[in-house]
Amino acid sequence: MTNGKVEEAGWNLDNSYSRLPKKMYSQQNPTPVNSPGLIKLNESLAESLGLNVQELKSEESLAVFAGNRIPEGATPLAQAYAGHQFGHFNMLGDGRAVLLGEQLNSEHERIDIQLKGSGRTPYSRGGDGRAALGPMLREYIISEAMHGLGIPTTRSLAVVTTGESILRETKLPGAILTRTAASHIRVGTFQFAAQWGTEEELRELADYTIDRHYSDLPSEENRYLSFLKAVVNRQALLISKWQLVGFIHGVMNTDNMTISGETIDYGPCAFMDTYDPATVFSSIDVQGRYAYGNQPNIAGWNLARFAETLLPLLHDDIEEAVKIAQDVISGFLDLYDSYWLNGMRSKLGIYNEEAEDLALVENLLNIMEKYRADYTNTFRALTFDNTDEIALADKEEFKKWYDQWKERQGRQKESKTESVELMKRSNPAVIPRNHRVEEALEAAVEKDDYQVMDQLLEALSNPYAHSPHQSKYCSVPANPDGTYRTYCGT
Ligand code: AMP
Ligand code: MG
């Protein structure tokens, strides 16, 4: 640890969110902690933010990540939001996070810098405002894996320990994650404004959000209708990307869905090993509301809640407004399906479109489900044409499907090599498999050994490389998925 000046770390912060109506947030400083320690620093992310990696390793910067020191330009605040949690509407807000502000990078982009686990806020309800080391490292791993997979996501800049323990079922080491995001504006932020703000305040939030994330909206039609369509479009694309890699968010409450189209809130999320649309890992999701196969429908439901918040802005006549909103929302699943099917074509090395492609994909998925095939490794085996390595190889249905697929690949102008290239770009070799994530967390939290995690992160940073040293991350555990359980808000 070196001494350094926080000004030299390259912070270039503003907090435009603090200029929104006061009821949208509460000014809130992080609660200082005893004896912080830097555990993890995301150097490539830091560089892309215009930060100085060496200075970020100094005592002064550690104090920033710990919430013990407020860098210049920051206006720490906790955001207010509401949300439907498992279908039930609640007032929420940042209960254990503060937004320091937005870092302005050299491309003049604004990137939220948020401390998660930084102490109580007016929205903490009964919670302690703190986070445990294990779950913050888990968020670091999975969010960086999503980034590596090319999926829009919040990211993890740093993890620090607080030197304090927090009480869950047992005593656990406390930690703070510095999270970056295009913004932390959620469907639930609009729900809050629609429920407790005036129409003017709602409009201010919408204008702010459009300016920040959708400044290139077409000008010919109602601006807020264009906004709604654009958000629906980004979410359709995002959810298709989740489905294509087998990512299960686990708690798709409306407060955990961003307006920017980034994945947010890595609580009970996990990747599916065996292909099964009913897969659920979250310990509290007993009904399977957020099961893998339900995610597109739930996204549509959440977007309907978003559209409801915009009704006063869509038309003066409420019935007209409802009609306009319904029109957009009813198109969501078709939009999602088309993104997903295009993604599936790529996973199968197909460049052009044929009407029967959906049936071809569905047949494969049905066979995979029937024989409990590993999702990622099946597509990997198809990519390298070594299907004899997978359990499906000797099944008659699969052999028949395989021949149809090869015929289908023949009906395009692209060569076999081009097909393989497309498949390599579309089928990851490495995903953060549950047993690997647990192994990394156990070494880190129990043994203070960060090598396992660093090696995993290295493999996850380039999941489409298909390099030989990644092969150890491709193997499936003896009892895939079986009893794996994940937890919320830990
Ligand atoms: P999540 O399940 O992470 O989306 O959190 C749901 C809500 O609970 C959000 O308003 C969080 O800020 C809040 N929350 C989660 N954990 C804590 C905690 N330890 N202390 C205070 N609030 C919390
Ligand atoms: Mg949340």
Q: Which of 255, 265, 273, 481 is catalytic?
A: 255
Residues near ligand 1 (Cβ within 6 A): 92-96, 123-124, 127-130, 251, 255-256, 265, 267, 488-489
Contacts of 410 (CB under 8 A, 6+ apart): none
- How much distance in Å is there from the Cα of 37 to the middle of ligand 1? 23
Q: Where are the beta strands (DSSP E) in 117-199?
A: 131-132, 155-167, 171-181
pLDDT tens-digit series, residues 27-59? 999 999 999 999 999 999 999 999 999 999 999
pLDDT at 337 (0 to 100):
98
- Residues listed for the chain: 490
pLDDT band at 71 (very low <50, low <70, confident <90, very high): very high
229 within 8 A of 45, measured Cβ to Cβ: no
Compute the distance between CA of residue 304 and CA of residue 298 in angstroms, rounded to an integer: 10
pLDDT digits (tens, 9 = 90+) for 248-287: 999 999 999 999 999 999 999 999 999 999 999 999 999 9
Q: pLDDT grade, residue 1 (50/70/90)? A: very low
Does residue 139 have a pLDDT over 70? yes
C-alpha dist (Å) from residue 234 to 150, 187, 215, 325, 336: 14, 13, 14, 16, 10
pTM: 0.97
Letter string b/e over residues 71-104, b meaning 16 or more CB atoms within 10 A of that residue's CB? beebbbbbbbbbbbbeeeebebbbbbbbbbbbbb
Q: Ligand 1, atom 13: nearest CA belongs to which residue?
A: 95
Q: What's the mean pLDDT when you consider all of the chain? A: 96
pLDDT tier at 488, thresholds 50, 70, 90: confident
Distance 256 CA to ligand 2 centre (A): 5
Span 464-479, mean pLDDT? Answer: 91
Q: Give the mean pLDDT of 220-238.
A: 95
Can 255 be counted among the known catalytic residues? yes
Q: Residue of the nearest CA to atom 8 in ligand 1?
A: 95
The domain ranges of the chain are 4-181, 186-429+474-490, 434-473
Tell which one of 79, 92, 263 to mutate to probe ligand 1, the residue whose CB is within 8 A of the most ligand atoms: 92
Nearest CA to ligand 1 atom 14: 95
- In this model, does residue 173 exceed pLDDT 50? yes
Residues 462-490 have a mean pLDDT of 86
Ligand 1 centroid distance, CA of 488 (Å) = 9
For the cut 80, the answer to whether the pLDDT of residue 5 exceeds it is no
Asked if the model's pLDDT at residue 2 lies above 60, the reply is no
How far is the centre of ligand 1, averaged over its atoms, from the C-alpha of 198 (Å)? 26
pLDDT the model gives residue 389 = 81
3 has a pLDDT exceeding 60: no
What is the per-residue pLDDT for 261? 98
Query: In this predicted structure, what is the pLDDT of residue 446?
Result: 97
Residue 388 in this model has a pLDDT that exceeds 90: no
